[in-house]
Amino acid sequence: MENFKTILWDFDGVIMDSMPVRDKGFEIVLQKYPQEQVSLLMDYHRKNGGLSRYHKFRYFFEEIRKESITEDEIQGLAKQFSTVMLESLLDESLLIKDTVIFIEENYTKYNMHIVSGSDGNELRYICEKLGLSKYFISIHGSPTPKKN
């Protein structure tokens, strides 16, 4: 590790075991739709963890339901999803202990950033509330794609 100066961290499944909560979020937000269709989205969601909720909601409607959806409708679904996430993800017990210990012990040795498919504003809020923000130079999330 001494050859590295910068570490880019993913969040879900790396810093926090949040995937079960995110699964539940999609199920709650899409509960009025047929379970078979929601199950198809859940399969897609689990295979494409790094993609944003915005992308996944668009996929659900355009590819699974074969119907169009407006950007405003996607934003509305994403807002509902965010409400569910913020109710559930401010739980310190979801933090992955070994990762957090490494971060706490090494944040002065490396330039650390979070790059996640999760909503950026939500992610910054969660990190602030859980006392993680101070360890990272920046925290980036969707709608900017993770690869950017």
pLDDT in tens, 92-133: 999 999 999 999 999 999 999 999 988 899 999 999 999 999
| Residue range of the domain that includes 104 | 6-17+94-142
| Residue 69 tokens, joined | 């959806």
Radius of gyration (Cα) for the chain, nearest Å? 16
Task: Copy the structure tokens of residue 100.
Answer: 């957090």
| pTM (2 d.p.) | 0.78
State the amino acid at position 146 in one-letter form.
K
Q: Does residue 111 lie in a domain region? A: yes
pLDDT reading at 11 higher than 70? yes
- 31/81 same-domain check: yes
State mean pLDDT over 27-45: 97
Report the CATH number that the domain containing residue 104 is assigned in CATH. 3.40.50.1000
Can you tell me whether residue 33 is helix, strand or coil? coil
Q: Is residue 34 part of a domain?
A: yes
CATH number at residue 34: 1.10.150
Kindly list the strands in the beta sheet with 6-9, ordered across the sheet, starting from the edge strand earlier in the chain: 6-9, 111-119, 138-142
The answer to whether residue 148 is domain-embedded is no
- Do 27 and 71 have their domain in common? yes
Beta strands in the chain (DSSP E): 6-9, 111-119, 138-142
- Whether 123 and 73 map to the same domain: the answer is no
Asked if residue 66 belongs to a domain, the reply is: yes
Task: Find the length of the chain.
Answer: 148
CA angle 115, 16, 9 (to 5 degrees): 25
How many structural domains comprise the chain?
A: 2
pLDDT, position 148: 65
